[in-house]
Each structure stands twice: as structure tokens, then as C-alpha cells.
């Protein structure tokens, strides 16, 4: 019948256009959309046929028709605007500000959607109010109804949207900072910004990350005599024996971030991937235990063997109030065999005089160290290193662990002889559980694996069995030091006291809540007319009206200035945010973006004039460096031989603002 054919044609066209608008063509997704469209049409037709003898049938069928039509128009609109299907993340970004901006940017698309809706209603009024001159058996009508219902339930976007209602309501409560919604997920909201932190100092702190070491390595039943010094120290310590990896904390940078901040990394922190460099403005209004120590007047020094710029470690440390970040491999120490920077022995040798200097200053201090010799898969070992006596021919990682244990014991015994020992708390912790390595089979055979975490000089020795994760270290360390402060960590809790088990769950709602809370506490929106400049200290970065963008050069990310073959291109979104960052080696692409005509075409380009950046208008023959801001093909450029002299002022307002 004509109603069936026309309705199917309408929904088929909407489904086809939606699939073609996706940023990545998905044949399976397209098929599901078409099946959903067929299901809706069969359901409408079956309903119409079942009610064909009733004069008001058109009014009964009309509401589901309009609902189905709106659902597919919504899917098409979302795909057109974002390149993605409707999902929770997209719906959570439907804010009044974004809606106003969307009206400006997609006015033609909005008008088109309204015309489709009106055309669909007109088509319905014309076709479905006509008399049905068709003879179809009742069983056929029921078949249409049942098959349409099945396809609609399993394939149409309507079911997906219905399933999102509960999540949307929870997200709304999260966006409104409803304390009960967060409390039900074990997340604590905090009204104190990092600038308003008030803290009183306690004891001094030496905090030591033990690379990939875990408690199973200290089990004499599994590895007899592998860690005699650590096992001896644990008898003098408060031991936290039930700590596990936090979400996104199963590698070095993620573990360090969680331990410092009492929270976790989210995808927006690492838009360039793991070890691709952290975005320092994600969660930048939240505090951390080093920032609290900074506000309490502590001097803070971080020392490790590898390059401190690796993965943006120095960017995080700078944000969190460290006074110095040192790669001891850069301090005249000879590289240790195939080690990454300097050996653990050299790390502790370098740290001891720094500890003495900090004690002598009379200022409260925090000295953080990061070992490296036990890094998977096989560890690093000098030819002159000690050999694990129980397995002299065993995997190299065993000998590396045995040596690190020896250096830990030696370092602590030397600290005990120093004048400041009585007022110094020493915390040891795994950065994360060991990933795949030459000892994995033995570790996995032990069943439950937990972090190695203990605190010396922190009170009467005892074992804490309260279950925890990496993020619990931040509040626990402050409690061990006796530091008073007015900040509440989102996830982390003091393991010396009973803790809320809800924070440990790994369900989708928890991940979405901490993501939303982190983004709500981020500085992402750029000024309308930001001053743009280049800085080389304390890290290499672009400063865009107070929002810094670290100049990560490569994977694993380190910061520096671009070479002649590359330039940095930042695409700015209409919402005054950095939408995309690209290291470009294609001069032709620079010429293309320099001719941009769209209202939303806004770019920042930085590089050497002899490279691709030299294709910007007016850049030829100028000085070594060029920094440019472009909007709709109109560019403002600054050139010079000194990068810190470059400066331009951008205009991020839309023409209709």
C-alpha cells in the first residue's frame, strides 16, 4: 500500500543520510539504522491495519509516527553536527551555551531538520487520513505489528535513547553537583579551589615510588630472600597491604597522577594517548597532596633517573607546586649499563646530599624519588651488580629487584644517622602492579596481587587491611604527616580510618561521574581576545591568555621547540577551546588553512620560518621563528630570533556575537 511505501522511503532516507554523516563509515551501524527504520514502518503499518475499521485510527497512529520521526531527525542532526551517533557524552554536552553556539553554527541544518519534520507531518496527514482500500488478512497485520515491534526494540535508536534516560538523569544530578548523587558513587565534592587551600605543616616527607615492585615480590614463599631489607623495614612500619591499581593507574604516569591527586586520569587528560603528555588544565581547579604541602610552606624536590620531561611529568610537577624536578641522569652521573638515565644506586647517592640540604634549611620539605632499575620486562642491571643468591642464573629482573632492595636498605640506614630523621616520615609505594615481565607466571600463580606500600617513622608498626587504591595515598600521606588542611579529595580516603567502599567500584556510572566532576573543575575556555606567546620556562609551552599548552614533540612526550621540518598547528573550536593539536610537516596544508573562510576556522601556528610555518601570509624572508593567529584567512603574525619575544593577540569571537 502507498502509506507503507512512502513511510518506508522517508525513514530509509533519514537512516541513510545519518549513516553517511558519521565521521567513520560503519556498515554495520548503517545496517542497524536501516533495520530500525524498517521496524518502525512495520510497526506503524501493523497498527494502522489492526485499527483500519476505526475512524479515529489516524489520530492513534500519529503520536508514535511523530516520535519515530523526531528520533531519526535527532540521530541525523547529531551525526551532522558531531560525526557521531547520539550517546551519553553528546547529550551531556547539550548545555544552554552550546545550544546557542550550535544555533549560530548550524542554522541551515536546523532549518533543514524543521522542514523534514513539517514535510513528514504533511505526508502523514495526506496519506494516513485517506480511506484504506486494501484487503489484508488479520494475521498479516499482526505479523507486521509483532515483527515491527521486535525490530524497533532491538535495532532502532529509540531503545538506545530509552536506555539512556537513567544515565541522563544521573548526569544531570552530577552536572548540578548534587551531593547525594556523588555520595552514592563514593565521590566527594569539594567547594574549596586550589587557590583557597589553607594548610599547616606537619612532619617532613621522603616519598619513594618503587617501579613495578609489588608485595608478592616480598613473599619469601615465592621469592625466598629476594627483598630482605624491605621485609626488615616493613616490621618497623605501618603497612598498607590491601592497595590495588586505581582506574587508569596501571602504568607509571597514571599511578603517579592518582597517588598525587587523590583522583584518576580521564581520557581528556591524555588526548595524545598514554605517555603522550598530560593536558594540565584538565582538573586544574582540584588540589593534590603536593599542592597542599606547597600551600603549607614545604619545599618540594622530585628526583628520578630518566628524563623528567618524559610523558609530561615535569608539566604535572610544575602544576602541583614542586620547586625542583631533577633527572639525576643529567647531573654528571654515568649511565648505568643499559639503564634509563641513572641506576637506583646513583639515584639514592644523589638524593642523600639533597636530603641533608633540605634538613639544614630548616624549612619543611618533601623529597620525592622514583626508582627505575626494576622496570619491566627484564629490569636494568650493571655488570658489577649483586646477584640474587637463590637463583644466580635466574631472570635479570630478579637480580634487579635484589639490587634495588639492597639500595633501599642502605639509603634508609644512612638516613637514620642524619640529624633530621626523627622528624621525617618515609613512604614507600609501588607505582603500579607489575605488567607483563619475565616473572609474570610466578606472580599470577599467587592469586591476589597488591601494592607494596609502607610508611616508616609514622607511628607504631601495624598492618592496615582496609582495601584501598592508588588514589588513597594522597589523603593518607597527609594524615601520616599530621598536615592540617581544608581540602576533600574526590576519590582518595585516609586508610588509617574506615573508608567508603563505593569509591572502589569500576562501573560506568563511576567513570562518568569522575569524568564530569574533573571537567567541571577544569580551566578550558580561552579568553575572547587572548594574548598568545611562547615560553621556555618552567616548561616549553604556548601561553594562550593564561591557558598553557605544553609543546609535546613526540611519543613518549617531551617538550621542546619545533625543528625545521615541523610546526605546531592548534585548531580552536567555536566554543573557545583547543579542539585539535597537530605537528605538521606538510607546507601545503599550512597554505590551505591560511586561506580558511569558515566562521569557525581559527588556528594558531608556531614554528620556524624556514619550515612549513613559513607558508603563512607575510612570513617569507622573516626571522627564525614565527607565531601566527588566523581567522577566516586573516592572519596576525609575529616573527623574531628569540621565541619568548613572539606575541600576538587573537580574536575568538564569532562574527555574529
CATH number at 498 reads 3.40.720.10
* 640 domain-assigned: yes
Q: How confident is the model at residue 642 (pLDDT cuts 50, 70, 90)?
A: very high
- 3-state helix, strand, coil split of the chain in percent (to 5) is 45, 15, 40
In this prediction, residues 69-77 reach a mean pLDDT of 84
pLDDT of 557 above 50: yes
In this prediction, residues 627-642 reach a mean pLDDT of 90
**Which residue among 149, 176, 203 closes a domain?**
176
Same domain, 92 and 141: yes
In this prediction, residues 596-622 reach a mean pLDDT of 80
Same domain, 379 and 508: yes
Same domain, 416 and 451: yes
- What contacts 357, CB < 8 A, 6 or more positions away? none
Using DSSP's 3-state secondary structure scheme, residue 451 falls into strand
pLDDT for residue 656: 44
In this prediction, residues 156-169 reach a mean pLDDT of 74
Decide if 550 contacts 536 (C-beta within 8 A).
no
Same domain, 403 and 488: yes
pLDDT of 432 above 50: yes
- Angle formed by the axes of helices 508-520 and 157-175, nearest 10°: 50
pLDDT for residue 1: 60
pLDDT of 57 above 90: no
* 440 domain-assigned: yes
**pLDDT tens-digit profile of 129-153?**
666 565 665 677 788 788 888 888 8
**pLDDT tens-digit profile of 435-472?**
999 999 999 999 899 999 999 999 999 999 999 999 99
pLDDT for residue 334: 43
pLDDT of 644 above 90: yes
403: domain range?
Answer: 194-520
Give me the percent of the chain exceeding a pLDDT of 70.
86
Mean of pLDDT over the chain: 86
pLDDT of 606 above 70: yes
Same domain, 203 and 329: yes
Give the C-alpha separation, 106 to 598, whole Å.
12
pLDDT for residue 26: 67
pLDDT of 240 above 50: yes
Backbone angles phi, psi at 485, to 5 degrees: -155, 170
**Which residue among 485, 501, 520 closes a domain?**
520
* 656 domain-assigned: no
Same domain, 319 and 205: yes
DSSP letter (8 states) at residue 280: T
**Which residue among 142, 176, 210 closes a domain?**
176
Same domain, 292 and 431: yes
β-pairing, 602-608 vs 625-631, is: antiparallel
Give the C-alpha separation, 252 to 310, whole Å.
11
Least confident of 202-216, 359-373, 593-607: 593-607
**pLDDT tens-digit profile of 341-352?**
789 999 999 999
Number of domains in the chain: 3
Same domain, 439 and 542: no
Backbone angles phi, psi at 543, to 5 degrees: -105, 115
* 187 domain-assigned: no
pLDDT for residue 250: 94
Strand runs (DSSP E) across 487-633, as ranges?
A: 531-535, 541-544, 547-550, 567-572, 578-584, 602-608, 625-631
Decide if 397 contacts 437 (C-beta within 8 A).
yes
In this prediction, residues 328-348 reach a mean pLDDT of 66
In this prediction, residues 193-199 reach a mean pLDDT of 93
Same domain, 158 and 248: no
* 98 domain-assigned: yes
Backbone angles phi, psi at 389, to 5 degrees: -65, -30
pLDDT for residue 547: 85
In this prediction, residues 342-370 reach a mean pLDDT of 96
Same domain, 109 and 256: no
Least confident of 45-59, 63-77, 82-96, 571-585: 82-96
**pLDDT tens-digit profile of 387-417?**
999 999 999 999 999 999 999 999 999 999 9
β-pairing, 299-304 vs 324-327, is: parallel
In this prediction, residues 614-630 reach a mean pLDDT of 84
Give the C-alpha separation, 628 to 614, whole Å.
10
Indicate the helix (H) or strand (E) that contains 481: helix 473-481
Decide if 182 contacts 270 (C-beta within 8 A).
no
* 654 domain-assigned: no
Does residue 481 or residue 551 have the better pLDDT? 481
**DSSP string across 489-504:** -SS---TTS---GGGG
pLDDT for residue 128: 67
Q: How confident is the model at residue 657 (pLDDT cuts 50, 70, 90)?
A: very low
Same domain, 490 and 576: no
* 106 domain-assigned: yes
Give me the percent of the chain exceeding a pLDDT of 90.
47
Same domain, 239 and 366: yes
pLDDT for residue 483: 98
* 186 domain-assigned: no
Q: How confident is the model at residue 336 (pLDDT cuts 50, 70, 90)?
A: very low
Q: How confident is the model at residue 622 (pLDDT cuts 50, 70, 90)?
A: low
Decide if 395 contacts 438 (C-beta within 8 A).
yes
Amino acid at each position: 500500500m502507498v502509506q507503507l511505501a512512502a513511510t518506508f522511503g522517508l525513514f530509509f532516507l533519514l537512516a541513510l543520510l545519518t549513516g553517511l554523516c558519521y565521521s567513520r563509515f560503519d556498515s554495520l551501524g548503517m545496517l542497524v539504522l536501516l533495520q530500525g527504520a524498517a521496524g518502525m514502518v512495520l510497526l506503524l503499518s501493523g497498527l494502522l491495519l489492526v485499527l483500519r475499521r476505526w475512524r479515529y485510527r489516524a489520530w492513534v497512529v500519529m503520536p508514535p509516527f511523530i516520535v519515530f520521526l523526531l528520533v531519526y531527525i535527532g540521530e541525523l542532526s547529531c551525526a551532522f553536527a558531531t560525526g557521531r551517533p547520539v550517546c551519553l557524552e553528546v547529550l551531556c554536552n547539550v548545555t544552554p551555551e552550546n545550544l546557542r553556539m550550535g544555533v549560530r553554527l548550524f542554522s541551515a541544518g536546523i532549518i533543514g531538520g524543521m522542514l523534514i519534520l513539517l514535510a513528514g507531518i504533511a505526508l502523514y496527514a495526506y496519506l494516513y487520513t485517506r480511506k484504506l482500500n486494501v484487503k489484508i488478512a488479520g494475521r498479516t497485520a499482526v505479523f507486521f505489528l509483532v515483527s515491527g515491534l521486535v525490530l524497533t526494540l532491538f535495532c532502532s535508536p529509540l531503545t538506545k535513547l530509552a536506555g539512556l534516560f537513567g544515565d541522563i538523569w544521573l548526569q544531570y544530578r552530577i552536572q548540578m553537583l548534587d551531593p547525594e548523587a556523588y555520595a552514592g558513587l563514593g565521590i566527594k565534592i569539594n567547594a574549596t579551589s586550589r587557590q583557597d587551600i589553607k594548610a599547616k605543616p606537619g612532619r617532613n616527607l621522603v616519598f619513594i615510588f618503587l617501579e613495578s615492585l609489588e608485595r608478592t615480590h616480598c613473599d619469601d614463599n615465592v621469592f625466598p630472600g629476594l627483598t630482605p631489607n624491605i621485609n626488615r623495614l616493613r616490621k618497623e612500619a605501618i603497612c598498607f597491604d590491601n592497595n590495588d591499581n586505581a582506574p587508569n593507574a596501571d602504568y607509571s604516569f597514571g599511578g603517579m597522577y592518582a597517588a598525587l591527586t587523590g583522583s584518576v586520569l580521564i581520557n581528556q587528560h591524555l588526548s595524545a594517548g598514554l605517555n603522550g603528555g598530560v593536558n594540565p588544565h584538565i582538573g586544574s581547579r582540584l588540589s593534590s597532596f603536593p599542592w597542599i604541602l606547597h600551600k603549607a610552606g614545604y619545599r618540594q624536590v622530585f628526583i628520578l633517573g630518566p628524563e623528567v620531561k618524559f610523558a609530561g611529568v615535569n608539566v604535572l610537577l610544575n602544576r602541583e607546586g614542586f620547586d625542583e624536578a631533577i633527572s639525576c641522569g643529567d647531573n654528571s652521573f654515568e649511565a648505568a649499563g643499559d639503564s634509563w638515565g641513572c641506576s637506583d644506586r646513583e639515584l639514592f647517592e644523589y638524593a642523600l646530599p639533597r636530603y641533608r640540604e633540605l634538613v639544614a634549611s630548616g624549612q619543611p620539605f618533601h623529597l620525592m624519588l622514583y626508582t627505575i632499575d626494576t622496570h619491566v620486562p627484564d629490569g636494568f642491571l650493571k655488570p658489577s651488580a649483586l646477584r640474587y643468591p637463590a637463583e644466580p642464573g635466574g631472570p635479570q629482573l630478579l637480580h634487579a629487584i635484589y639490587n634495588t632492595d639492597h639500595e633501599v636498605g642502605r639509603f634508609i640506614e644512612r638516613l637514620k644517622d642524619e640529624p633530621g630523621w626523627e622528624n621525617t616520615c618515609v613512604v614507600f609505594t609501588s607505582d603500579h602492579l607489575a605488567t607483563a615481565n619475565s616473572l609474570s607466571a610466578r606472580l599470577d600463580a599467587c592469586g591476589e596481587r597488591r601494592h607494596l606500600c609502607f610508611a616508616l617513622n609514622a607511628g607504631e608498626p601495624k598492618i592496615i587491611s582496609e582495601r584501598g587504591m592508588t588514589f588513597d595515598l594522597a589523603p593518607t600521606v597527609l594524615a601520616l604527616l599530621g598536615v592540617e588542611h581544608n581540602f576533600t579529595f574526590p576519590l582518595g580516603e585516609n586508610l588509617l580510618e574506615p573508608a567508603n567502599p563505593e569509591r572502589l567500584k569500576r562501573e560506568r556510572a563511576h567513570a562518568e561521574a569522575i569524568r564530569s566532576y574533573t571537567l567541571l573543575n577544569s580551566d578550558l575556555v580561552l579568553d575572547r581576545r587572548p594574548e598568545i606567546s611562547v615560553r621556555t620556562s618552567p616548561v616549553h609551552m604556548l601561553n594562550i591568555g593564561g591557558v598553557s599548552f605544553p609543546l609535546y614533540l613526540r611519543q613518549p612526550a617531551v617538550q621542546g621547540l619545533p625543528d625545521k621540518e615541523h610546526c605546531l598547528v592548534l585548531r580552536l573550536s567555536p566554543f573557545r577551546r583547543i579542539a585539535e593539536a597537530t605537528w605538521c610537516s606538510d607546507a601545503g596544508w599550512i597554505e590551505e588553512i591560511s586561506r580558511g573562510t569558515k566562521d569557525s576556522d581559527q588556528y594558531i601556528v608556531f614554528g620556524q620560518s624556514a619550515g612549513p610555518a613559513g607558508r603563512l601570509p607575510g612570513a617569507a624572508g622573516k626571522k627564525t621563528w614565527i607565531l601566527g593567529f588566523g581567522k577566516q584567512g586573516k592572519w596576525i603574525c609575529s616573527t623574531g630570533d628569540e621565541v619568548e619575544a613572539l606575541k600576538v593577540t587573537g580574536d575568538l569571537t564569532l562574527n555574529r556575537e
